[in-house]
């Protein structure tokens, strides 16, 4: 077996299309997971059990079932009920929803780590609830949990190949299509593997740097 650089050159147009789709999924999925995760975390702290219990059941169910099963359910089952999205939208929604249940626990841990004196000070100053959360509690909580959220972004990146199962044209699916057309598997798959390393490793270094700075 010999390495064929011409196969790499032929794959490059497909590869860059796949990179663009992968990064799009990663950015939108991360924003969705961070936003929904905060919603779940606040709901789980609700004084009403009619809010707390249903949210707890839903998040536990999502967190304890495989992402691939959720992906297939959203893409193949929901259309039978009249709810249908494109493969890209479905994949982004699945990743964002799945990881939101993990980021919810991260948010909860960050909120619980805020010293009780901060809550008492906000109460003593007669701050309204929304000001207490936005100006006192959440800024301190996010500072503590930013590195953990960064790790979940990297985990989401590594899970994007699962979306090839529903036909999303991310990097892995592009390499599979190229390999099927040319019968050359080594070059496209190797390029995709290296691409994941080149994206994930700098991101992990950034998370470590952020963790050290926030620790100070």
Q: Are 119 and 45 spatial neighbours (Cβ–Cβ below 8 Å)?
A: no
Task: Quickly state the pLDDT bin for 215 (edges 50, 70, 90).
Answer: low
DSSP assignments along 72-111, one per residue: HIIIIIGGGGT----HHHHHHHHHHHHHHHHHHHHHHHHH
Token representation of residue 125: 């100053």
Token representation of residue 193: 């593997």
- CA–CA–CA angle 10, 12, 13 (5° rounding): 95
CATH of 14-169+199-215, one of 3.40.50.800, 2.40.30.170, 3.20.20.140, 1.10.3720.10: 1.10.3720.10
In whole numbers, what is the pLDDT of the chain averaged over residues? 90
Angle between helices 171-182 and 186-215 (to 10 degrees): 170
For residues 53 and 170, give the distance between their C-alpha atoms in angstroms, rounded to a whole number.
37
Task: Quickly state the pLDDT bin for 216 (edges 50, 70, 90).
Answer: low
Report pLDDT digits (tens) over 40-78. 999 998 888 899 999 999 999 999 999 999 999 999 999
pTM for the model stands at 0.89
Residue among 96, 113, 193, 195 nearest 153 (CA)? 96
For residues 150 and 154, give the distance between their C-alpha atoms in angstroms, rounded to a whole number.
7
Predicted pLDDT at 2: 81
For residues 20 and 13, give the distance between their C-alpha atoms in angstroms, rounded to a whole number.
11
Report pLDDT digits (tens) over 124-183. 888 888 888 888 888 888 888 888 888 899 999 999 999 999 989 899 999 999 999 988
Residue among 54, 149, 59, 55 nearest 107 (CA)? 149
Alpha carbon 14 to its chain centroid, in Å, reads 24
Residue among 146, 116, 108 nearest 132 (CA)? 116
């Amino acid at each position: 077996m010999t390495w064929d650089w011409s196969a790499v050159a032929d794959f490059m147009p497909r590869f860059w299309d796949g990179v663009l789709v992968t990064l799009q999924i990663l950015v939108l999925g991360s924003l969705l997971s961070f936003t929904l995760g905060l919603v779940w975390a606040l709901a789980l702290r609700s004084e009403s059990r009619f809010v707390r219990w249903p949210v707890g059941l839903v998040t536990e169910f999502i967190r304890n079932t495989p992402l691939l099963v959720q992906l297939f359910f959203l893409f193949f089952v929901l259309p039978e009920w009249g709810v249908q999205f494109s493969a890209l939208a479905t994949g982004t929604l699945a990743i964002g929803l799945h990881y939101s249940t993990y980021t919810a626990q991260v948010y909860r841990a960050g909120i619980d780590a805020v010293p009780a004196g901060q809550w008492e000070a906000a109460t003593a100053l007669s701050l309204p609830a929304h000001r207490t959360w936005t100006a006192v509690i959440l800024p301190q909580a996010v500072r503590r949990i930013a590195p953990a959220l960064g790790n979940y972004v990297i985990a989401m990146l590594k899970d994007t190949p699962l979306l090839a199962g529903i036909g999303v044209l991310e990097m892995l699916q592009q390499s599979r299509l190229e390999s099927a057309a040319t019968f050359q598997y080594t070059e496209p798959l190797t390029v995709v593997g290296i691409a994941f390393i080149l994206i994930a490793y700098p991101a992990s270094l950034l998370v470590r740097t952020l963790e050290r700075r926030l620790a100070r």
